[in-house]
Every structure is written in C-alpha cells, then in structure tokens.
Structure 1
Amino acid sequence: MRNTPGNPVRGEDFWDRKDLIEKIWKSLERGSILLIAPRRFGKTSLMLKIHDESKKGWRPIFVDVEGMSAPEEFIVDLLERVAEKQGKSLLEKVRDFLGKIEEVGVENIRIKLRESLKTEWKKRGKDLFRKVLERDIRYIMLIDELPLMLRKFPQKKIAGEFLHWLRSIRQEPEICEKVRWVFGSSIGFHSIIRELGVTSNVINDLQPIPVLELSTKEAERMVREILKEELNIKRIKKEVMNHIFKKIGYPVPFFLQILLCSLITLYKQEGRLTSEIIDKAYTDLLKPWNRSYFEHFRERLEKYYEPQLAEIVKRMLSLIAYKGETSKQELSNFFVGQYQQGAIHLFDLVISDLENDFYISKDKDVYQFTSNVLRDWWIRYYGWRE
C-alpha cells in the first residue's frame, strides 16, 4: 500500500475496511444509504471500492455531481452512464423519447435531452428512468457530493423540489426494487435541508452510515504496511507506534497519512525512526507549506454560514481548541453572548453540525476537537480572538 493522502484511491492503494464495506452491502439489501464523512476521510475511495468490486447481480454506476447545477444535468449524465454500462448509446435508449433529430453526435444528444427536460424535468425525468433501466438488472447508483450540487442550483425552491423528486424515484414501485442509491456527503446533509427550507422527510428513507476513524488495530496495520512499502521497514517498536498515535489522536486515515508523509521524508534524511523524529515530523506537518491539507476545514464554515455566524463559530472552535475541552454550558453562554436572536435554538443546530462534520466530539458533557492535528492547526492559524 502506497501512501497517497488526500486523493481518492483504488486497487491496492485502498485500505480495505472490511467491516464497513460488509455493513454497506448488508444495508443495500434492505434499502438505500447515506454515507457521511468530511472531505478526505475516505468516503469517495469507499464508493469507488463498491463500484469496482460490486457483488454478483449488481450493476454499479458512479457519478460525482459536485460540478452540476441543474436537475436536467443530473438526469442526463446519470442515464448516459447507465446506457454505457449496458453497452448501448444513450441515443439507442431514448430515440423515440427525443423524436426526430438531425444531428446524432453524443454532445448534441445531451443538449437536446437537457433542453427537453428543462421545463418538465420531474415527469419526463421519471419517464426516462423507466425507459433506460433494464428490467432484470439491479443497479447501485453511487452519487458523490449531492449537497454540493444542490448549493449550486440557481434557486433554493428547485433544489428542494429536486430532493423531493429523488425521494419519489426511490419510492417508485417500478424502480425501487431494482435500484439502490448510495449518496456520499462531505458536508452535513441536514444543514443543506435546513438551508433549503425542506423537511428531513426527503432523506428519512436513507440509512445513515458514518465513515469514522479506524480502530487502533486497523490503524497500526495501516502504519506498518505503508512504512514497509515506502521505507522497507519491517518492524516498528511498540513505543514508536504508541507515540505516533499519541500525537495524532483519533486514527483518521487522512491525518495519519499526512503525518506519515512528513515522517517518511525525515526518515530518508535521518535514517532512524524514534519518538523525537515523530515529534519533528508532527511539527513540520503544521508548517505553512502544508496549509492546503487543512484549509477546507475553515472554508466549509464560510460556505455553511452567513459571515457573522461563521465568525462566531470559528471563535467557538478557538475556545475549544485552547481549553482542550469545554462544557456545553460554557459554549452555550459564549454563543448566546455573541449572537442574540434565536441563539439557543441556533446553538444546538451549530453544535450538531460541528459534531456531524467531525470538528468536535462529545465526552459526557464536554466537547473537544476530534483530531489532535486539526486542533493544533486551528490554534496556530486561527488563534483565540475576543
């Protein structure tokens, strides 16, 4: 296994999370699911693993929809991929749906289909699904970054209607038994729903499955395999392994891999693997040239919330980072003091968002950063501001 942090991986570079994959397959036998994880927690790699190694009897379709901004784009792109998996062109599947067309190039078909769907995408989109899906095939539709797509819709009303339409597709008798959906989300789905002004009914048929940190045993195996592949180190002392996890905290694959990147560089210079080298690798990890690893944690808050609220949330995270752990009551008092109108209700929503997105975790009645690395980065670059 090579060390490739940050990018989706396939094949031998994928860390095989067998228990999680088995849980996903069992859930798909019963219905559709929602994979929940922040960016770089391995969600997309997991979806690609399901795609590349699907069980017998399933036909997987993977689509990253982050760049889309309209229902008709989603419908045409998804159904084109379905047709390709059937070994047919989209034109063959929808010829009578489109009527007479003079140009038969792929792009012309896409354009004509999108135009035909613009005003009646709900009904005609559902008709297209019925037409394109083969009768005796079971499909898995792996849809990555749906919330980010919804944010790009020109009108919230259309985005809300699209979520209702997707749910109606999942409930359609002719479709639901032969199609399962896996929606991947790197931002809180409930935040998007709240923002769009729709109820949670639009996703209450999806089983949520979080992509969490590795177990200690899994994480240790991952470290051994990466260091063996990258440095030909066949044995790691117990105290060295313990020190890696003391520094990193929760064994999130991404944070573990970026620390190992820094550690591998130092090992090649120093020729030894000690607690002191690990400390230096950790310090180097937080240097300015590595900020790109972490900036999206700040940027997503500015996308989630209006400017005043985003600033308050960042201050609240700074408070948690500096104190190490902070009670819910102290955080509530701080939040209410900063943001007056409807503050208590909004505070509960914000705390829920931050937990769902793995910024913080709760132990009894106190909150702390989920990751030591993220906490230390936050302190360094977004220090306490009154």
Structure 2
Amino acid sequence: MEPIPPQPGNLRDPRYFVGRRRTTEQARERLLAGASLSLSDPRRMGKTYWMHYFATTQDKVFNPFIIDYEGVYTIEDFLRRTAERLGSSRRLPSSARKAMTLLFDSIDSVSIAGMATVKSYHRQTSSLTLLERTLRTLDTGGRTTPLVMMDEVPLAVGNIATRQGADVAAELLQTLRALRQGTTRVRWVVAGSVGFHHVLRTAGATEGELNDLESLALGPLQQEEAEELATRLLLGVRATPEQGTVAELVSLTSGIPFLLHKVAALIDQQGLRSLDKQQVRECFEDFIDDPDEFGWFGHLLTRVDRYYGQDTDTAQRILDSALRHDSSWTTVDDLPQAPGTMKVIDALVSDHYLEARGRSVRWRYPALAYIWARRRRTWDRP
C-alpha cells in the first residue's frame, strides 16, 4: 500500500498504476493470438494511462509504440505525427529506421525529435501511401512483436473529415484497416474518447472499416482495485479514514479512477486529515458545483451538444428520463418518443452513457448519472 499522490488528468507514473489486471491479461492474450483491439471508453476513464502501463509492463513480449493523434487535422499531420513518434523512439528496430530514412529527413537519429520531413523526391507521393510504407517498416526486424498503440484516432479522423473532406477521412480509415490486415508481425490497439460511430457518419464510412477490431472495455475499476486505489490516494494526502469511508468514496465515484483522484485532491486542498463519509461526500459535491474544478469533466455535458446535432434535444431528454436514484431500469416505452428515438438510444449506448437489456435501459455508471442530474439541476444535493 504505497501512497499515491493524486494527479487528476495527468499521465501518472506507471509505478502508481492500480488495477486493470483482467483487462491487461485479456489484451495480452488477444494480441498474441493476432487480434487487433479497439479501446473506446469515454474520456477520463484511463485509456491513455493504461496504454502506457501496458507498454511498460509488457515490453518483454511486445515492442510498443504509442502515437497520440490529438491535434491532428490533416492527412499530412497524421503522417508527420506517425513518423515523428516512431523516429524518436529508441525501440525502433535498425531495419525500420533505415527504411524510414529513405522516406524522411531527420529520422536517422533519435536525438532529433519532432522534425520528420518528407524527402524531396517523395513530395509527389500521396501522404496515405507514405503512411502505409512508414508503418509497414515495423513488419520486419526486431526480436519482439511490434505493437502500435494509436490514441485519439476517431478525433483525428473527424478533424480530417471537417478540414479535408469525408472522402479523405474514409480513405484514411481504409488504409489503417488494410495495414492491420496486411501486416504479419505487427499488432494494433486503436483508442479514442470519441465514439467511432460518430466519426463513421461524418466520414461517410461504414462499420466495415472497423469490424476487424475486437472491443476491449476498461470501464471503472473492479471493487477491490478501486478500494486499493482509494486507500493509497488517501495515504498520499495523509488522511486517516474512518470505517466505511473508503467504501463510500468508491461508491460515490463508481470506481472511476479520475474521480477518485479528483476527490482525493480536494481532500488534500481542504486539509482534511481525519476523514469520515460525510466529508468525502462534501468533497464530491464541491467538485460537481465548482465550475473551475468541474471543467475537468465538462465533456460529460458538452459532447452531447457537439456530436448529436439535430438529435441533441432528444438525447438529453432520454438521458433525463433514464435517471433513477436506485439505478433501476427504464423501459423504452417510458422514454420520450420522437423520430429516430431508437437510433439515438443506440448512440447513447455506444457512447457509454446508457446500457441496454432488451427493451430497457439505464445509466451505465451511477456516478455519471448523478453528476449529469446535479449539473442539469434535475436533482438537488442531499
């Protein structure tokens, strides 16, 4: 039980990573079997942190390369980000580096990072062709299995569709699929905090571009893992919890790591040392009510406005109607009825707001349901 200092929203030291044992084992087994994985949990669920943890702890089995595509708006950006991340890695096999030097300047040395420029005699070659050639360099050389972990791909594809057109974004998706199917040794993990179902619609693509990916769900921590993280975070802020306080913290946050870190940080800010359940709840309520603190989690509200378009009002009313203090199920017949209601429900399930069983739905995570209700003034604080 080594203390963990709370750092909500930051990429934390893999030494302080807690839990995800089942997910990690499943990912290793499926990747070794040749599968490609999709990681599409909502933002702040710990996807990026888990990828860094997996890359650190599985480096005897895989040769990992993590590439973050946030801030990419064009195909050229996508190519450049890929080349720079691979070229700056000391783990890039010499055969791959040699092949990349034929495509880019400043790739021959890992000491020169962030300066990948296409060779002059390749300036007329399409960026997608160069992207394919770049990633295929990993398919030969090296003793361990190359593992390409692509983060925020849906966000980048959506940006490209907006900036360069749906056809270009769809072609990128097709190129990535061809790479996943056409490489022999390389394994792939594709992650994003924006659901691919939104991106496919924007790009005019179909599920066929992604149906080779197996879903790998993170979700909240399991109970024992969440209690371990909560305990170690309280140790990190030198707080002594009374009996039942750790369980209360886990229950309030639904075991979501970011929320556990955030509440622990507020406990520390308020200088609470002898901690009871009511004080934990007050810190959780403070997080919800403070606009500056809640900004970290504002996507819970704003992403509906951004991605549901003309269905925004329907989506919000469905989410409001599904709210239950006891997390019980709501039948579809009891939800607001409008043209396309079932389509919107399916999207809300894909976005991890709701879970469905037959003709009934409910909020997937009680903590997020409570936060939604409180921020929209549907429920009052207890």
Q: Same fold (TM over 0.5)?
A: yes
Query: Judging changes above 3 Å, is the alpha-carbon distance between structure 1 residues 217 and 322 closer, same or farther for their aligned structure 2 residues?
Result: closer
2:80 counterpart SS class:
helix
Query: Is 2:244 the counterpart of 1:239?
Result: yes
Query: How big is the shift at 1:291?
Result: 2.3
**For 1:1-386, what aligned pairs fall within 5 Å after superposition?**
1-30=4-33, 31-84=35-88, 85=90, 86=92, 93-97=99-103, 110-113=116-119, 116=122, 120-131=126-137, 134-137=140-143, 138-153=145-160, 154-172=164-182, 176-231=183-238, 233=240, 236-248=241-253, 250-266=254-270, 268-269=271-272, 271-289=273-291, 290-306=293-309, 308-321=310-323, 326-331=330-335, 334-336=336-338, 340=339, 343=340, 347-362=341-356, 365-383=359-377
Which whole-Å CA distance do the structure 2 matches of 1:52 and 1:9 have between them?
Answer: 13
Query: Judging changes above 3 Å, is the alpha-carbon distance between structure 1 residues 148 and 170 closer, same or farther for their aligned structure 2 residues?
Result: same
Query: Judging changes above 3 Å, is the alpha-carbon distance between structure 1 residues 33 and 241 closer, same or farther for their aligned structure 2 residues?
Result: same
Query: How big is the shift at 1:63?
Result: 0.9
Which whole-Å CA distance do the structure 2 matches of 1:369 and 1:318 have between them?
Answer: 10
Deviations 1:314-365 (A, max 9, x none): 232223237765322222xx141xxx3xx2xxx3332222223222234675
Query: How big is the shift at 1:19?
Result: 2.0
RMSD (Å) for aligned C-alpha atoms: 3.1
State the AA in 2 paired with 1:285.
F
Q: How many residues align?
A: 360
The structure whose residues are more often helix, as a share, is 1
Counterpart in 2 of 1:102? none
Deviations 1:257-288 (A, max 9, x none): 2223333444x24x422222223223222223
TM-score (norm 2): 0.83
Which whole-Å CA distance do the structure 2 matches of 1:365 and 1:263 have between them?
Answer: 41
Query: Identity of paired residues, percent?
Result: 22
Q: Contact 1:83/1:132 (CA < 8 Å) preserved in 2?
A: no
Which whole-Å CA distance do the structure 2 matches of 1:97 and 1:278 have between them?
Answer: 55
Which whole-Å CA distance do the structure 2 matches of 1:259 and 1:109 have between them?
Answer: 40
Deviations 1:116-153 (A, max 9, x none): 46762344443344456543453111110000001111
Greater gyration radius: 1
2:275 counterpart SS class:
coil
Deviations 1:72-101 (A, max 9, x none): 3323332343344337699854455579xx
Query: How big is the shift at 1:221?
Result: 1.3
Query: How big is the shift at 1:53?
Result: 2.8
